[in-house]
Amino acid sequence: NAGVTQTPKFQVLKTGQSMTLQCAQDMNHNSMYWYRQDPGMGLRLIYYSASEGTTDKGEVPNGYNVSRLNKREFSLRLESAAPSQTSVYFCASSEAISRVYGYTFGSGTRLTVV
């Protein structure tokens, strides 16, 4: 099925460890996004990529880096994980970075930092 695929689905890290969350979409979308969702909260935008080759900060970028590897893939890296980064991470994509087009979300990566 077409959509947004995130890996891994679950991860436990120790404080200070690093890891990369992977995201790929097969809908030929131009724009991709990373959100985090804390328990009982809404989604907060970490980084986004309006098009291949560009990335920009969202609401909560500190502690994260991203790479738009190609049109399909957008990865999120935690260089030195902290307990405050325990959250569910969602990747999303859209046809264009425009109000007109809705997002398609992946199923999420549940990250626990101990």
Partner 1 sequence: LAKTTQPISMDSYEGQEVNITCSHNNIATNDYITWYQQFPSQGPRFIIQGYKTKVTNEVASLFIPADRKSSTLSLPRVSLSDTAVYYCLVGDQPSGTYKYIFGTGTRLKVLA
The residue (of 5 and 17) whose beta carbon lies closer to partner 1 is 5
Residue closer to partner 1, measured from CB, 20 or 107 = 107
CB of 16 to partner 1, least distance (A): 28
Nearer to partner 1, 20 or 98 (CB): 98
Q: In whole angstroms, how close is the CB of 75 to partner 1 at the nearest point?
A: 17
- State the minimum distance, in angstroms, from the CB of residue 15 to partner 1: 25
SS3 for 49?
strand
For 72, what's the count of Cα atoms within 13 Å in the CB-facing half-sphere? 8
Residue 61 CB partners (closer than 8 Å, separation 6+): 46, 47
Q: Which residues of the chain form contacts with partner 1 (CB under 8 A)?
A: 4, 33, 35, 40-45, 48, 50, 56, 58-59, 90, 92, 97-100, 102-108
* CA pair distance 32, 24, nearest whole angstrom: 9
The two structure tokens encoding residue 74: 């957008």
Least distance from C-beta 43 to partner 1, angstroms? 4
CA separation, residue 44 to residues 15, 34, 75 (Å): 22, 9, 17
